[in-house]
């Protein structure tokens, strides 16, 4: 059977562990030459360790695949560009980028430090931009390429204590859509995946109440390997007509997520005043307001 990524070169950031590792392994199994990027930091981004990326490369090679390790951070423009440079220097080209690298530094909003906010934005949002931007000219010149970015229901829907993460992840949605719009003329595609999977980062979620414990137990059943097939599909030629979309993956479920569109309107011929908005406009719209839902409120059933 033909392999979906035969002859392609792909970068997977944050590929030393968790979801990134599973994507790198499957991409290699599907014929891609893989740049396995991971500086090996802790869940909050501290420190570095070459072992995670090297171990994934070793595993790929043992299975007969082709891969090289990269230890640069995505959180700064020049190191991020070196990931793309290594792909081209090593394998002569680049066909796909998976922006998976991430850290967590959760805190309730009024207690969140500026550093905690900025560091998460830098890795997730700026990192996705830096790596994508470094690859964009290559993709334009070769008239092809695919980006797969990782978003989260923390941004798409909401969660407690994750203002930094949610802002970054919703920013990535805007980044992906803009890339899709700007680069479709060059046959470059850009999509987002919102994963439900147990990982080292999810392991930082508190388990102090029975509800929190039940939530974490449910998430532990959602393994990282379930995210890899859609990620690899989106990198391949079979997905040539799929761009600008947001998907969620939860165990064996794949969801196409909505994007912001008008849902209700009010009109007043003479225009509005603060008083008429209070008396007429807002009461008319209120029935369509979104509740302060969290991800767990919307995805309330067990994964299948």
Residues with a catalytic annotation lie at 165
The continuous run of DSSP H or E covering 37 comes out as strand 33-37
What is the C-alpha separation between 129 and 124, in angstroms, rounded? 9
- Based on the number of CB atoms within 10 Å of its own CB, is 211 exposed (0-12), middle (13-18) or buried (19 or more)? exposed
C-alpha 111, offset from chain centre: 26
- Which residues in 126-139 are b (16+ Cβ under 10 Å) and which e? bbbbbbbebbbebb
Longest dimension (CA), the chain: 73
What is the C-alpha separation between 240 and 227, in angstroms, rounded? 20
DSSP assigned state of 258: P
Q: Which of 256, 247, 195, 245 is nearest to 22 (CA)?
A: 195
**How do beta strands 253-256 and 246-250 pair?**
antiparallel
SS3 220: helix
| Contact indicator for 135, 180 with CB cutoff of 8 Å | no
| Contact indicator for 15, 93 with CB cutoff of 8 Å | no
Query: Which residues have a Cβ under 8 Å from the Cβ of 8 and sit 6 or more positions away?
Result: 31, 32, 33, 95, 96, 235, 236
- Based on the number of CB atoms within 10 Å of its own CB, is 111 exposed (0-12), middle (13-18) or buried (19 or more)? exposed
């Amino acid at each position: 059977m033909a392999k979906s990524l035969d002859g392609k070169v792909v970068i997977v950031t944050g590929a030393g562990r968790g979801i990134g590792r599973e994507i790198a392994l499957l991409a290699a199994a599907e014929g891609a030459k893989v740049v396995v990027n991971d500086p090996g930091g802790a869940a909050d981004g501290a420190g570095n360790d070459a072992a995670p990326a090297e171990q994934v490369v070793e595993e790929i090679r043992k299975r007969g695949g082709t891969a090289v390790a990269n230890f640069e951070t995505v959180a700064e423009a020049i190191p991020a560009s070196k990931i793309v440079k290594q792909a081209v220097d090593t394998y002569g080209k680049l066909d796909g980028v998976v922006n998976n690298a991430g850290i967590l530094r959760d805190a309730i909003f009024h207690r969140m430090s500026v550093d905690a906010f900025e560091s998460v934005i830098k890795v997730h949002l700026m990192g996705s931009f830096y790596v994508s931007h470094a690859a964009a000219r290559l993709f334009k010149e070769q008239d092809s390429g695919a980006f797969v970015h990782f978003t989260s229901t923390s941004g798409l829907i909401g969660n407690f204590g994750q203002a930094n993460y949610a802002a970054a992840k919703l920013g990535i949605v805007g980044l992906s859509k803009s890339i899709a719009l700007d680069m479709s003329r060059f046959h470059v595609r850009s999509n987002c995946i919102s994963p439900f999977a147990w990982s080292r980062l999810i392991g930082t979620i508190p388990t102090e109440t029975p509800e929190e414990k039940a939530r974490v137990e449910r998430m532990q059943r959602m393994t990282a390997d379930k995210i890899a097939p859609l990620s690899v599909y989106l990198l391949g030629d079979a997905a040539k007509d799929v761009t600008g979309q947001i998907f969620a993956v939860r165990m064996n479920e794949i969801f196409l997520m909505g994007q912001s569109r008008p849902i209700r309107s009010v009109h007043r011929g003479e225009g509005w005043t603060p008083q008429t908005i209070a008396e007429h406009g807002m009461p008319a719209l209120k029935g369509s307001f979104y509740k302060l839902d969290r991800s767990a409120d919307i995805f309330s059933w067990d994964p299948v």
